Each structure stands twice: as C-alpha cells, then as structure tokens.
Amino acid sequence: MSTVMKMTVPAFSHPPQSWHTIDWYLVQRQVRGLQVRIAKATKQQQWRRVKALQRMLVRSFAAKALAVRRVTENRGKRTPGVDRELWGTPELKWQAITRLKRQGYRPKPLRRVYIPKANGKSRPLGIPTMLDRAMQALYLLALEPVSETTADRNSYGFRPIRSTADAIEQCFVNLSRKSSAEWVLEGDIKGCFDNISHDWLLANVPLDKQVLRRWLKAGYLESGSLFATEAGTPQGGIISPVLANLALDGLETVLESHFGQKNTKASYKTKVNYVRYADDFVITGISKELLEDKVKPLVEAFMGERGLTLSPEKTLITHVDDGFDFLGQNIRKYKGKLLIKPSRKNLRNLLQKVKGIISGNKTVTAGLLVALLNPVLRGWANYHRHIVAKETFNYVDYRVWKMLWKWCRRRHKNRQFRWVKAKYFKSVGNRNWVFSGEVAEQKMLRLFYCNDTPIKRHIKLKAEANPYDLAFEQYFELRLERTWRDSMAGQWKVLYLWQRQQKCCPVCRFPITFETEWNIHHIVEKVKGGSNELDNLVLLHPNCHRQLHN
C-alpha cells in the first residue's frame, strides 16, 4: 500500500443525510489537509504523489460538497447555462453532490453572451451549466495548490489573497529609487484567453487530461448554433483563470535565467524586473535597446510556445519620466520622484459612469440616487486609496457636486438657489454641501465623498507567500486581521463581532473573510423582541445563516 493511502484524514462520525446536516468544519478540514499535502508534494516535485492526492481529493465527499456550495453561493448562482438548470434548493444541492462523477461525464457547450468593455466594444463570455461549474470547482480544489506553488513570484492576478495593490506596490519597488531602471516594456497579449494552445495546456497542466480535454473542446452555443473551440480556455468557467495563469507562469524564470536573479550582480547590470497581473505585465530594463533587442524577443518566443502573440499596437516601450498606465493607475517620475496617481482614462470612466447614473435617474428621490451613487464612489476611492490620489479625490467630489446641482436645478426651475440648497444639501461636521435624501423608514442617506477616504500605503504581500504552505499560516492570519481593521474602520460593530468570535463563524468554525462574506444574525429574532445590541448579534457565513434558520 502506498504512503498516500496509509495517511488518514478526519472522517464523519455520523454521515450527513441532507444538505443542512453537513458538518462544514469537518468538510473544510478534510479538503484543506489534502490541499496542503498536494502543495508539499508539488514543492518536492513528486508528481506521481501529486496525481494520487488529486485523485483522492476529487473523489471525496468533502470536496464535492464544497464545490457545490461554491457554485450555489457565488454571484452567478442565478445565471443558468444551456440546460436552464439552477440549484436553488437544499434538495437539489444535496442531489448535485452525487452527480459529480468523472465516469460518464460529458460537459455541455457554453452559453455565449456578450458583456460591454470600457472601450465600447463587447467581450464574449461563456456560461457553463451548473453541473459543469461544479465539476470545474471540484477540480480547481485539486489544481490550485499546484498553481500557487509553481506560480511566478510577481504574478498577482486571479490568485487568492493577492490584489492589484500588490502589483502596483511591486512596480513602485522596481522603479522608485534613483538607481532603478528607467525604461519599461508594457506588455499586452492579443486575445490571451481566446488563443492559448490546447495542446500546450494538455501537455503541461497537472490535471486529469480526459476531463481537461472535454472542457477545452466543449464548444459554445450562440443563436441556436454550435461552434467548436480550437484554442483558448473556457471563459466564464471557474477554472479558466487558473489555466491562464499556468500558461503564463514561467516567464519570470526565463528572464532570470538570462539576466540574473534579483539582487545579483547580473541583475544590477540590466535591472530587468517583471510584474504581471492576469494578462497584463510590465518589464523594466536599463535601456530601450535592452528591452527591444533582448527582452522582447524572449517574451515573444515564450508566448509563441503557448499559441499567444503580443499586440503590436499596445506593446510599448516607455521611459519612466513619460509615465505609463497599469491597472487603472499612472506610474511616472516627476523630477526624479516616482508618483502613482489614478490614470486619466480611469478617472474619465468613473465620471462617465456617475453621469450616466444621474442622468438616467432624473425622477427618483434624492435618497435613492445617493444609494445608487455611493457604492460606485466608495469602490473607486477604496481602489485608489493606497496611492497619490488626494488631489484627484477633490476633483471627483467637485465634478459630482456640479452634476448633482444640475440635477437639483432641473427639478426645481422656479425655486431660488437657497431653497434648493436647503432641500438637498445639509451641513455635516465641517461640510456645508452634503447631498442627502431620505429612504425607507425616514432614514437619511448622505452622499459619499471621495476626499473623506484616508490615503494609506499598501503593505505588499511577500512574493514567496503560499496560502497552502503551513509555514505562512500565521503570516496570512496577521495580514487578514490588519486588512479587516483597515477596511472596517467605519463599521466598528462588524469588526467587534469578528474579533469576539476569533475571526470564525460559530456554526462551521471556519474563518470569515471578505471572500466568504457574512450575515449579521440576531440570536433572539427581532420579531420576538430581539434587540440590535451586540450581545444579541453574531456574524455567520451566508450558508450557515440559512442552515441555522432551516
């Protein structure tokens, strides 16, 4: 008997009989234990062991239950595939667990829809069926520990815990010093997700080849016609981003093999550094000739093996004094000092979106308009809160005020300015022009002002940190706590409950994070006289909340 089979994992003392009797704490412990072992075997390059552990994971009840839970709780849970099937009840979810089998599995074609892009064009998106989504989520549980262990250190897109702020901070590290590189290669891959070679994926992705081939060749359905897919990953599928990452990983190693690893003599001569977020990347260099003649051919050859090409129009070589846009932010040196600000294009898109909301809701109440605007403004300000954005925040507040004043004046053309101001704009603290309006139950909503967002430097994630490596367990816990404190500064009640519960859901005893989301539960229901006092409140995962009420 192999070592893999000898090792045991926690078992269910009483096997669950329905969806709401599943012990989610035990389920997640089982899956987590196998994922840690897969990551360890990957690090040691024991590929036969990796394959055996992956097979054990995808056959387990725990992994299947987690996969079904994921696809029935995410934002796409109400969007059906070509079979128009949804899993909206506990009974259907329970039945779905038994349907997740490799034997006889045949994925259905994707339902093709189009979503608008920022440039006015449309992006094709494929929507798999619920069964195909759950199967992808199941195999993703086995693939992600491998992809995280083998990933490029400075790759930040579509990876757990990493963010755009980490990528921008790494750009600052690479370019901010006086001795830093002054030239940047802005890379743009032409139709990355649509053109990745199927042959390369099947030969190099450590996943069940038969299942992977069926996903890649499933095709898509549009206007009643079936179209074959000869290249690319299944866009819209849960596993698609990880497949794309696996295809693009390795470029950092190629560059280091030619120009030296970081902090070595060879790297000081060329100053070649690499940062990637999804299919966008930047590479720094000491001169334009180095990037044009040596780095760019290496990148093109690397991409060519995977069936990809660089876009000639969008792949540019820029001096840092001229600046360049990356992930919606402009990175540029001003008289030798590197400053990162919101890009003009990103700012223009925000103002156009705000204008569309205001002009499209000319007859709604002021309270409802505030409710529509606040998530947009708050989300945009939070995205840019780690960079030099205070001046831009002031400008956004001014432009939004002008649009709202025009909206108010249109509704009351015969009224004096002072009357309009008194009706819609209140004094709050040191502010005299706070746009406000009532919503249900005479609750007053106030407009969010971007300038109220404090600027705070982002602390970058360690490049080598791996969420499936137990050596980094404490590091990620401390980082999560710091993130909650920063993000929940205005929601002290949620932060207090989260800390009181030791960051865990009391039902499933598993961590509450921004990814899992949460609900506030009243121990004694409000209809039975329960209060909103902290002693009567508890944070629960959404699924645990439903389970408790059922």
Average pLDDT over residues 492-518: 83
CA dist., res. 127 & res. 75, Å (int): 13
90-99 vs 61-71: helix crossing angle, rounded to 10: 130
The whole-number pLDDT of residue 43 equals 95
Residue 49 has which token pair?
């062991």
The whole-number pLDDT of residue 118 equals 66
Kindly write down the DSSP assignment for every residue of 334-387, as one continuous string: ETTEEEEEE-HHHHHHHHHHHHHHHHT-SSS-HHHHHHHHHHHHHHHHHHTTTS
More confident residue, 310 or 493: 310
The DSSP secondary-structure symbol of 532 reads S
pLDDT at 5 over 70: no
Q: Which candidate, 25, 47, 297, 58, places its Cα nearest to that of 150?
A: 47
CA dist., res. 351 & res. 108, Å (int): 41
Q: What is the pLDDT of residues 11-41, one digit of tens each?
A: 555 678 888 888 888 898 999 999 999 999 9
Average pLDDT over residues 499-519: 83
Give CA 280 to chain center in angstroms. Answer: 15
More confident residue, 488 or 271: 271
Q: First-to-last CA distance in the chain?
A: 43
Q: Give Cα separations from 412 to 369, 403, 418, 439 (angstroms).
A: 16, 15, 12, 20
User: pTM above the 0.85 mark?
Assistant: yes
The whole-number pLDDT of residue 508 equals 82
The whole-number pLDDT of residue 1 equals 35
Kindly write down the DSSP assignment for every residue of 240-257, as one continuous string: HHHHHHHHHTTHHHHHHH
Give me the count of residues in the chain. 550
pLDDT band for 489, please (50, 70, 90 cuts): low
pLDDT band for 291, please (50, 70, 90 cuts): very high
The whole-number pLDDT of residue 361 equals 93
Question: The dihedral of CA 425, 427, 431, 436: what is its sign?
Answer: negative
Q: What is the pLDDT of residues 348-397, one digit of tens each?
A: 999 999 999 999 999 999 999 999 999 999 999 999 999 999 999 999 99
Residue 545 has which token pair?
């909340």
Residue 291 has which token pair?
């990037």
CA dist., res. 418 & res. 435, Å (int): 14
Q: What is the pLDDT of residues 31-81, one digit of tens each?
A: 999 999 999 999 999 999 999 999 999 999 999 999 999 999 888 888 888
307-299-125 Cα angle (round to 5): 45
Q: What is the pLDDT of residues 307-356, one digit of tens each?
A: 999 988 889 999 999 999 999 999 999 999 999 999 999 999 999 999 99
CA dist., res. 63 & res. 445, Å (int): 43
Range from 129-143, 158-172, 381-395, 521-535 carrying the lowest mean pLDDT: 521-535
More confident residue, 269 or 385: 385
CA dist., res. 181 & res. 268, Å (int): 9
pLDDT at 487 over 80: no
CA dist., res. 450 & res. 379, Å (int): 10
With a CB cutoff of 8 Å and minimum separation 6, the contacts of 14 are: none
More confident residue, 66 or 511: 66
pLDDT at 7 over 60: no
Residue 75 has which token pair?
């934002």
